[in-house]
Amino acid sequence: MGGLLSCPGIRAIADAQAPMPDIAVPREPVPDSVDQDPPVSLREAIAQGRLVAKWVATAPSQLRLTLRNTSDRNAAVRIDPGTTLTDGKARWLAGSPSRFEGAFGGAYVFEAGDAQLRSSTIPVPPGRETALTLPALRLTAGEPGSKIDPANPLKSETVETWSTDTSLQAVLLGVSMLGSSLPVAQGIAWKAVEAKGWKALANLTVQGRTLNEFEKHAVDRYLAEIARIGPAMPEVLRNSLLAGLMDVRIRQSPGKDGANMRFAAMLDGRSFLGLAMGKVSSGKGKSTPDKPMRLEFAIVEVLSAEPIRLVVDVSLSTHTDAPGGSIRWARTRLTLGTDRSDQGEAMDRFLDELTARFANALVRTERTGTGSMFSRFRLENRSPWTLSDVALRTGRNNSDPAVWPLEGLGLSPRDRTIVPVPADRAEPVDLRWSPI
């Protein structure tokens, strides 16, 4: 698949307004956006007198925002990146609307496939009031033993007002714009604000647990990249984080040099799981921290030279500091068969099948409950990277290709969440990882 949501069938489902599930879901839905209204900054709307906002802290990682539209016009409100809230003792960084528990929503979202940037907004009809819970990062620990008082309104400020440290500002603005899983985003805030190593932060928990090693690696990689490029627009930061993620290699096999060269040429300019393959390298080599993900092809057998037909072994692994240097997460064997007329179409089919097999290996679904319209599924991220989007096939087979996309998951590596799906089965067929 060229893009998770670029396929017409998938896009059509994503654009349709789904009815609300009749079962308990982890987080209340974000109101549907008013497409004809351009997004307006929450800070500007308040300054203009169009909106009245009230913030309260309801949990260590949650803020409740109530908006009242005092004007006679529709408002599509964008949470300003870097919005901080304080009760005088503790301080939080507000995230944008998120549909799933465990996600720290970014102020901007990207359409998969073409990387189109759009604001994540909250619609508020004229004369109406809208309230929803937003994810939040705790920036200061507060006084020992202090408890959150939901009745205590918070004072809103900007990250620039709170801190003059430009490096800290860049870190917090970056994670505000792009978003991630809540544990990874909270880890970023801890390390950036406290300026301490993981040993000193070992006892800090988010959502009742400490960060796992994969989440810590995501935090460290983000902080290293933002230190390298400095303050940047969200699309620049996103592309920079994703560009160096995957290393693509073809393992050399005796007597198969010609087939290797043709296979590499057929891969040129393509992408896999939303990541550009870039230059395909040859040789075995080792995974490195700067390109921690390794997609490796090995031609096992040449069935035919013309038209070319190959049996290919494919594996996906990541760099680790543990003995051995890498961990393999998925492996499969596929046949690439072409005719003389269209080798590109044959490679498309090959990558589509590879995508579906790896998605099924890296994401696990299990139905845990049913309702009249929706079923509840436990979704588990078995990969070492934060999961952003997943496409689930709800039809029975390839002849019944009903697909249900889940966007903005923000699901931590090796973590799980509950999602509603309007079907009694859901098989992962595609996925995208978050930049952070």
DSSP, residue by residue, 76-95: EEEPPTTEEEE-SS-EEEEP
Query: Which residues on neighbouring strands pair with residue 86, listed in sequence order?
Result: 91, 155
Q: Rounded CA gap, 378 and 367, in Å?
A: 6
In this prediction, residue 324 carries a pLDDT of 59
In this prediction, residue 371 carries a pLDDT of 83
pLDDT over 70 (residue 129): yes
Domain annotation covers residue 90: yes
Does residue 307 have a cis peptide bond before it, meaning omega lies within 30 degrees of 0?
A: yes
What is the three-class DSSP state of 425?
Answer: coil
Q: Which residue has the tokens 């839905």?
A: 29
Helix (H) or strand (E) holding 114: none
397-432 residue pLDDT tens: 666 678 999 999 999 999 999 999 999 999 999 999
Q: Rounded CA gap, 211 and 204, in Å?
A: 8
Q: Rounded CA gap, 324 and 12, in Å?
A: 45
Of 60, 61, 100, 105, nearest to 81 (Cα)? 105
Overall average pLDDT of the 20-33 stretch = 44
Residues 40 and 136 in one domain: yes
pLDDT category at 372 given cuts 50, 70, 90 is confident
Of 205, 211, 213, 243, nearest to 225 (Cα)? 243
Domain annotation covers residue 26: no
Q: What percent of the chain has pLDDT over 90?
A: 60
Residues 316 and 190 in one domain: no
Domain annotation covers residue 12: no
Residues 234 and 295 in one domain: no
Number of residues in the chain: 436
pLDDT over 60 (residue 275): yes
Of 71, 51, 78, nearest to 126 (Cα)? 71
Q: Which residue has the tokens 């879901």?
A: 25
211, 242, 273 - which closes a domain: 242
How far is the first Cα of the chain from the last one, in angstroms, to the nearest whole number? 22
Q: Give the lowest-confidence range in 34-48, 135-149, 355-369.
A: 135-149
In this prediction, residue 5 carries a pLDDT of 43
Q: In what order do the strands lie in the sheet with 83-86?
A: 51-59, 62-69, 129-138, 91-94, 83-86, 155-158
pLDDT over 60 (residue 280): yes
pLDDT category at 22 given cuts 50, 70, 90 is very low
Query: Which residues on neighbouring strands pair with residue 78, listed in sequence order?
Result: 41, 121
Domain annotation covers residue 111: yes
DSSP category for residue 162: H
Of 272, 240, 234, nearest to 4 (Cα)? 272
256-273 residue pLDDT tens: 889 999 999 999 889 999
Whole-angstrom CA distances from 116 to 79, 113, 181, 276, 374 are: 19, 8, 21, 16, 30
Domain annotation covers residue 101: yes
Domain annotation covers residue 69: yes
Q: Rounded CA gap, 145 and 122, in Å?
A: 34
CB 384 within 8 A of CB 317: no
Residues 232 and 260 in one domain: no
355 against 372, higher pLDDT: 355
Q: Give the lowest-confidence range in 14-28, 73-87, 102-116, 323-337.
A: 14-28
Q: Where are the alpha helices (DSSP H) in 179-272?
A: 182-194, 213-229, 234-243, 257-267
84-125 residue pLDDT tens: 999 888 999 999 998 898 899 888 877 654 556 788 889 999
Residues 325 and 401 in one domain: no
Residues 76 and 203 in one domain: yes
Residues 57 and 165 in one domain: yes
Residues 335 and 424 in one domain: no
173-213 residue pLDDT tens: 999 999 999 999 999 999 999 989 999 998 888 888 999 99
Q: Give the lowest-confidence range in 112-116, 242-246, 279-283, 320-324.
A: 112-116
In this prediction, residue 17 carries a pLDDT of 32
DSSP category for residue 280: P
The number of domains in the chain is 3
Query: Which residues on neighbouring strands pair with residue 391, listed in sequence order?
Result: 405, 430
Residues 64 and 163 in one domain: yes
Domain annotation covers residue 296: yes
Tell me the residue type at 7: C
242, 264, 286 - which closes a domain: 242
**Strand 62-69 to strand 129-138: parallel, antiparallel, or no bridges (unpaired)?**
antiparallel
pLDDT category at 395 given cuts 50, 70, 90 is confident
Residues 81 and 45 in one domain: yes
Domain annotation covers residue 374: yes
Residues 403 and 287 in one domain: no
Q: How many CA atoms lie within 13 A of 184 on its CB side?
A: 35
Residues 223 and 107 in one domain: yes
User: Across all residues in the chain, what is the average pLDDT?
Assistant: 85
Q: Rounded CA gap, 17 and 4, in Å?
A: 18
223, 242, 261 - which closes a domain: 242
Give buried/exposed letters for 269-292 (b at 16+ CB in 10 A, else e).
ebbbbbbebbebeeeeeebeeebb
Overall average pLDDT of the 56-66 stretch = 93
The domain containing residue 183 runs over which residues? 31-242
Overall average pLDDT of the 353-366 stretch = 97
pLDDT over 60 (residue 6): no
In this prediction, residue 367 carries a pLDDT of 95
In this prediction, residue 118 carries a pLDDT of 80
